[in-house]
Amino acid sequence: MGEIRSTLDIIMEKAERVTVTDEEKEAFMKSEVKGKVRGLLQKYSDRIINKERLKEEVEAMGGERYVVATAVLKKECLDRIEPGEDSRPLLEILAYVVGLDTKPIGELLSRYRQEQEENRGNRESALKERLKDRGISGTAVLPNLGADPEWTRDLSEVKARFHQRIAAQYGML
């Protein structure tokens, strides 16, 4: 009588014939480390762990995994920095865990704020003039920048330039 084989036996038999190349092993490792770093960064953002614990976890990866983890952490933090929002926690991670000089980012954030304020003033003046041409004027008239497509576009362009400058500054292009 023939032997009845389980699904597991069949899978194990087929798995014996599969070989994984070094490139595939490296890709698996990078993917695994990337997922772990993203999880740690999320825990830090949610205040489940502090920066010291985050650093310990990254350092515990050791060797090549540590190198990959710090590179991933750097990219994730730089990608998540949004001008106009509180970037201090991300800057803290970049400085404390990755060892990155974050002063240039602070300067870029400052430049962004200046550009945004300049654009805001120019756009508000243009909208007030447009309203004045329609017979609407006075000290109580405040243009709604949020409803202005041109302001939204300008803001988007300034943010894009900010992210391009960060990428160029830190070799992320």
Residues 2 and 81 in one domain: yes
Q: How far is CA 40 from the centre of its chain?
A: 14
Residues 106 and 95 in one domain: no
In this prediction, residue 161 carries a pLDDT of 87
Copy the structure tokens of residue 120: 């805001």
Residues 7 and 44 in one domain: yes
Residues 3 and 86 in one domain: yes
Average pLDDT over residues 76-83: 91
Residues 95 and 19 in one domain: yes
Distance CA 152, CA 157 (A): 9
- What's the total number of domains in the chain? 2
- Look up the domain containing 15 and give its range: 1-100
Q: Is the pLDDT of residue 103 over 50?
A: yes
Domain C-terminal end among 100, 135, 152: 100
From first CA to last CA, the distance across the chain in angstroms is: 65
Residues 96 and 115 in one domain: no
Tell me the pLDDT band of 3, cut-offs 50, 70 and 90. Answer: low
Q: Is the pLDDT of residue 154 over 60?
A: yes
Residues 73, 125: contact at Cβ < 8 Å?
Answer: no
In this prediction, residue 19 carries a pLDDT of 75
Distance CA 90, CA 45 (A): 9
The better pLDDT of the pair 104, 22 is held by: 104
Q: Is the pLDDT of residue 48 over 90?
A: yes
> What does pTM read for this prediction?
0.73
In this prediction, residue 1 carries a pLDDT of 44
104-119 pLDDT, tens per residue? Answer: 998 989 988 888 888 8
Copy the structure tokens of residue 126: 């243009």
